Amino acid sequence: MHNPYDQVAYRTFPRRQTHPDRLAAIARFFGMKPARVTACRVLEIGCGNGANLIPLAYHLPESRFTGIDLAAEPVARALAMAAELALSNIDLRVADLGDLGPEEGEFDYIFAHGLYSWIPADVRDRLLAVCRERLAPQGVAFVSYNVYPGRYPHQMIREILLYHTRALINPAERIAEARRLLGQLDHPEARSLLEQGDDSLFHDDLAPINLKAAVSRWHRRADQWFR
């Protein structure tokens, strides 16, 4: 079965929320002593084409970076970019969460942006387990996710799109039909989705899994992201 991220390329770009310097600053507010960002080990889960991780590796040459993703074509593009920049401090590969065993060692910073809300429950559990198992003492993990109540209008539009595109297999046809439907809906959320690129519409809103969590539940679990 083809990986959907190999079928429709997904644009990635640097995410300031995941920068080790930002994560270290937040950790210090909690009384922690995180590793120096100029000499740390970083793991990105779901690195895509490396557009978030590679700039970090370029600007922090004394730190080590590892990125994994299930989609082969984005990783191939990431490897080509890293080779063009002659980066020797980054390891990019096609791998599953189950591949991250003790031999990987520990990481000072782990991040998974735009992943948790789109994976099955058992994989979400494994993601959190990896954060627990592979974080170094004083390590920091950043895991983003969608939340209620803000996602309710978005979910309403998403369910309309899923219902009316349920019989379409071809990604291009699904995207085209979704855009046609959005154009007929007089709703701010629909207009917002129309402004997104095809990659975001396909992978974020037409994905089979798009989990939302209640904010209060996750506030109580905030301590899980630090060690």
* Topology of the domain covering 4-145+214-225: Rossmann fold (3.40.50)
Domain extent listing, the chain = 4-145+214-225, 152-205
CA distance 203 to 133: 29
Type of residue numbered 123: V
CA distance 53 to 12: 10
Residue 181 or residue 219, greater confidence: 181
Type of residue numbered 211: L
Rg (the chain; Cα; Å): 19
Per-residue confidence band for 218, with pLDDT thresholds at 50, 70 and 90: very low
Note whether 94 and 71 are within 8 A (CB).
yes
pTM: 0.86
pLDDT tens column, 62-106: 999 999 999 999 999 999 999 999 999 999 999 999 899 999 999
Least confidently predicted of 119-123, 174-178, 185-189, 222-226: 222-226
Three-state DSSP at 112 gives strand
What are the backbone angles phi and psi of residue 36, rounded to the nearest 5°? -60, 135
For residue 55, CA distances in Å to 69, 141, 184 come to 17, 19, 40
